[in-house]
Amino acid sequence: MEACSLDLRERILRSCAESGLTREEVADDFGVSRSFLQKLLRRMREGGSIAPKPHRGGRTPIWRRAEEQVRELVRFKPDSTLAELCQALVAGGGPAVRPWTMCRALQALGLPLKKSRCTPGNRIVPMSRHCAKPSCGGWRGLIRNGWCSWTKAERTPP
């Protein structure tokens, strides 16, 4: 959310001083909250500036302390999984981070998490208890007849 401009703040204060409207009515007229109007009036009374305060920013991510170390880990072994990168970061004296934090770090640094084609594939395991062998009916044995429109028997005209 952006801060209200200095011009809008001055018009709000002028309206409070000259119009004789209540604070709620002034806040409604300008589309600001009552608490914003109260804070603005307090800042004016205390002699401070009515200009918007600078944005303070958020917390710095924990992995920023070890940014170069993360780059080196990926450069040294680009096939590492997120968990392996987290372990290597801690082993190298960096902060302990979770895999999802490491993923955000790699995205922010523009580093790939793509595995090389030379890495052996994962073990292939069956995804279903049903047998997909042709002797058992193949994939048709996985779907009961009549459950799907393309497995129903064709109708013959009378």
Is residue 70 located within the same domain as residue 105? yes
**Residue 135 pLDDT:** 52
Q: Is residue 35 part of a domain?
A: yes
Task: Judge whether 50 lies within some domain.
Answer: no
Q: Is residue 92 part of a domain?
A: yes
Judge whether 125 lies within some domain: no
Total number of domains in the chain: 2
Q: For 4, which DSSP code?
A: P
Q: What is the pLDDT of residue 98?
A: 92
Please give the residue range of the domain that contains residue 70. Answer: 63-109
Residue 79 lies in a domain: yes
> What is the predicted pLDDT for the residue at 115?
64
> What tens-digit pLDDT sequence spans the chain (158 residues)?
577 888 888 899 888 888 888 889 988 988 999 999 998 889 888 887 888 888 777 888 888 888 999 999 998 888 888 999 999 999 999 999 999 999 999 999 988 776 666 655 556 655 555 555 555 554 455 555 554 555 555 566 66
* 26 is a domain residue: yes
- pLDDT of 77: 87
pLDDT of residue 111: 85
Shared domain for 67 and 105, answered yes or no, is: yes
Considering the domain architecture, whether residues 73 and 105 belong to the same structural domain is answered as yes
Q: Is residue 123 part of a domain?
A: no
pLDDT for the residue 1: 57
Same domain? For 69 and 38 the reply is: no
For the stretch 101-128, what's the b/e string if a residue is b when 16 or more beta carbons lie within 10 angstroms of its beta carbon?
bbeebbeeeebeeeeeeeeeeeeeeeee
Query: At which residue do the structure tokens 């580093």 appear?
Result: 111
> Is 128 contained in some domain?
no
State the Cα–Cα distance between residues 128 and 123, nearest whole angstrom.
15
What pLDDT does residue 78 have?
Answer: 85
* Cα 84 to Cα 109: distance, rounded to the nearest angstrom: 18
Does residue 71 sit in the same domain as residue 41? no
